[in-house]
Amino acid sequence: MSNVLNFNAGPAALPRPVLEKVQAELLDYQGRGMSIMEMSHRSKEYEAINTRAEANFKKLIGVGEGYRVLFVQGGASSQFATVPMNFLPPGATADYIVTGSWGEKAIEEATLLGKPHLAASTKEGNYKRVPTQSEIQLSADPAYVHLTSNETIQGVQFHDFPDLGDRPVVADMSSDILSRPIDASKFALIYGGAQKNLGPSGVTVVLIRESWIEKANKGVPTMLRYSTHAKNNSLYNTPPMFGVYVLDLVLQWIDGLGGVEGVAKINDAKAAALYNAIDNSGGYYKGHAEPASRSSMNVTFRLPSEELEKQFVAEGQKAGMVGLAGHRSVGGIRASIYNATGLEACQALASFMGDFAKKNG
């Protein structure tokens, strides 16, 4: 058994019990003599997975009737375009709150399709925090307001969402979906690629308010219309079956840990271990995010020099810790600690940080 501690940013660690179940079922799914990947997506076996995954996702995120869960392809990056395609009517405005690199990409795509309004940006200061309520300048009548709940690259997260009145709120939750309790009923649409907190890459989860689906623009190509996937229970065309199958197992695993409340307790302890290591280093480690906006999923920090950062990553790797190099666009160190990365891994990294600072301080 390998003892790698996986801090990859995405694709990222998957729960060990889920991987073991996948392995056990790979050659013979429920006595059918073949894997789930080799069956029809119209089979009763796959239909059971599809139905259970939708129900469990709704239960875990805490919505009931009035919402649909869709399993689509193209990653969160495709959602950057499909949201305005469907919900930014010609001549109307949509507001974007930008707190990092992914939010920038989202508004860029909207610019190809209409005239979005930058309602707030914390770019000045290099995305170290989320904006305060008073810094958010909404336009008069936006079709929707878009935000990124957790900026994966900068390590900046909304702990409380701003008050956006009754405007439809759209959130890219790719990197913190189902990592903590939220009031999902405040959102018209939530999306996320599965490969951080939910499963393998290849499936994108969309939670959408049913009453909003009908308000979509006309003339959107069939596959890019939310209504197509809602009407057909995500079975309009061949879905990413293996991805949804693993996602279903991950959702059951989260449920078994006490749902999002259960995983949030563990996630808070994990993040605290690493932020304490930063705060107790006498300034050796410098966190990127301001304390009030610190992400509980991506812990980003710098060392006194780039040379030491390289050494930190290399020695971490030798100690079995992988994925610690910061994103190529910002440098530094990033430890991604999604649901499937355990508390022990974070404690091991915190202790490694203490030792490294002592030796190289």
Q: List active site positions.
A: 102, 172, 196
Tell me the CB-side half-sphere exposure of residue 215, using CA atoms within 13 A.
Answer: 15
DSSP 129: S
Contact status: 179 vs ligand PLP (CB under 6 A): no
CA distance 266 to 346: 11
Residue from 5, 6, 61, 75 in contact with ligand PLP (CB under 6 A): 75
Nearer to ligand PLP, 205 or 333 (CB): 205
Give every strand in the sheet of 189-193, ordered side by side.
67-72, 204-209, 189-193, 169-172, 145-148, 95-98, 117-121
Nearer to ligand PLP, 55 or 223 (CB): 223
Residues that bind ligand PLP (rule: CB under 6 A) add up to a total of 12
Residue from 82, 152, 197, 300 in contact with ligand PLP (CB under 6 A): 152
Contact status: 193 vs ligand PLP (CB under 6 A): yes
Site for ligand PLP in 98-137 (CB under 6 A): 102
Residues 6+ positions from 32 with CB-CB distance below 8 Å: 39, 45
Contact status: 326 vs ligand PLP (CB under 6 A): no
Nearer to ligand PLP, 109 or 248 (CB): 109
Query: How does strand 5-6 pair with strand 321-322?
Result: parallel
Residue 322 CA, chain-centre distance (Å), reads 20
Residues 6+ positions from 243 with CB-CB distance below 8 Å: 71, 194, 199, 200, 201, 202, 203
**What are 99's strand-pairing partners?**
none
Least distance in angstroms from the C-beta of 9 to ligand PLP: 8
**DSSP string of 218-246, one letter each residue:** SS--GGG-HHHHHHTTT-SS---HHHHHH
Residue 35 CA, chain-centre distance (Å), reads 28
Contact status: 10 vs ligand PLP (CB under 6 A): yes
106's tokens: 């989202």
Residue from 8, 93, 175, 234 in contact with ligand PLP (CB under 6 A): 175
CA distance 43 to 237: 14
Least distance in angstroms from the C-beta of 103 to ligand PLP: 8
Nearer to ligand PLP, 50 or 175 (CB): 175
Contact status: 202 vs ligand PLP (CB under 6 A): no
Nearer to ligand PLP, 192 or 356 (CB): 192
Contact status: 296 vs ligand PLP (CB under 6 A): no
Segment near ligand PLP (CB under 6 A); pick from 25-33, 86-94, 168-176, 236-244 = 168-176
Contact status: 73 vs ligand PLP (CB under 6 A): no
Segment near ligand PLP (CB under 6 A); pick from 16-24, 29-37, 69-77, 163-171 = 69-77
Three-state SS letters, 7-71? CCCCCCCCCHHHHHHHHHHCCCHHHCCCCHHHCCCCCHHHHHHHHHHHHHHHHHHCCECEEEEEE
Residue 4 CA, chain-centre distance (Å), reads 22
Residue from 54, 95, 109, 172 in contact with ligand PLP (CB under 6 A): 172
Segment near ligand PLP (CB under 6 A); pick from 59-67, 73-81, 250-258, 321-329 = 73-81
Contact status: 148 vs ligand PLP (CB under 6 A): yes
Q: Which residues bind ligand PLP (CB under 6 A)?
A: 10, 75-77, 102, 148, 152, 172, 174-175, 193, 196
